Amino acid sequence: MGLELYLDLLSQPCRAVYIFAKKNGIPFELHTVELLKGQHLSDAFAQVNPLKKVPALKDGNFTLTESVAILLYLTRKYKVPDHWYPQDLQACARVDEYLAWQHTTLRRNCLRALWHKTMFPVFLGESVSPEMLAATLAELDVTLKILEDKFLQNKAYLSGSHISLADLVAITELMHPVGAGCQVFEGRPKLAAWRQRVEAAVGEDLFQEAHKVILKAKDFPPADPTIKQKLMPGVLAMIR
């Protein structure tokens, strides 16, 4: 059995893995795990990832979870172009720095922005207090500023003059608040220009394909009550 990827393109780390594999012509079998239908909570998927989260990878007998680990695995195993995760010590450290930083900062804030602004009211039919929403968006703002000032600076890409895993992980993250209707790139010309470069480097068609679902987040039909009840604990834990 070859490479299998368990993904839902609604999830930002899944989009990064999907784009990376497609862009690099890595052959894989796609198993879609629909989060909004609670498919990740099935017993069958718990066999793959007991944590019940996507993305997950299977390569023969080897099972791997966590997007950063999966991206690094694919990078090494398929000998993709060096710029994704450079051999050069300092260049590589820049990518590692970003990948370590994003977990608890940009990732958390983008996830919360999507859920507080869109998924709670539209999908779950739960209102979010204006104070809570404002605090979430303010935190996102602070983090975006760090992304622009400390990571991007005046470079073409986050870790230098070529696209790397850092850019891919960052852009797929930012498309979460974009899907929720946040003006992420407005008033941030450097970040906006960077986005154009990343999209072009990835390829317009692939980028659009991977983001089709999230860009329709505002039109998701409301969840039925059984699904809502099933998903709620996971959602609350995820965005805490």
Partner 1 sequence: MGLELFLDLISQPSRAVYIFAKKNGIPFELRTVELLKGQHLSKEFFPVNSLQRVPTLKDGDFVLSESVAILIYLSCKYQTADHWYPSDLQARMRIHEYLGWHADCIYGTFGVSLWAQVLAPLIGVQVPEEKVKCNRTNVDKALQYLEDKFLGHKAFLTSQQVTLADLMALEELMQLVAVGYHLFEERPRLAAWRERVEAFLGIDLCQEAHGPILNVVEQAANKTLPEPSPEIHLIMLNRLFRIP
Ligand X SMILES: N[C@@H](CCC(=O)N[C@@H](CS)C(=O)NCC(=O)O)C(=O)O
Residues engaged in binding partner 1 (CB under 8 A): 50-51, 62, 64-69, 72-73, 76-77, 89-90, 92-94, 96-97, 99-101, 103-104, 135, 139, 146, 150, 240
The one of ligand X, partner 1, none whose footprint includes residue 1, by CB under 5 to 8 A per kind, is none
Residue 5 has which token pair? 């990827």
Q: How far is the CB of 187 from ligand X (least distance, A)?
A: 25
Shortest Å, Cβ 115 to ligand X = 11
Whichever of 32 and 196 has its CB closer to ligand X, that residue is 32
CB of 145 or CB of 216, closer to partner 1:
145
Residue 43 burial class via C-beta count within 10 angstroms: exposed 0-12, middle 13-18, buried 19 and up: exposed
Q: Shortest distance, CB of residue 78 to ligand X, whole angstroms?
A: 19
Number of residues that bind ligand X (CB under 6 A): 14
CB 218 within 8 A of CB 122: yes
Phi first, then psi, for residue 71 (nearest 5°) are: -65, -45
Handedness of CA 73, 76, 77, 83 (dihedral sign): positive
In the DSSP assignment, the letter for residue 174 is: H
Contact call for residues 54 and 60 (beta carbons, < 8 A): no
The one among 45, 67, 74, 174 contacting ligand X by CB under 6 A = 67
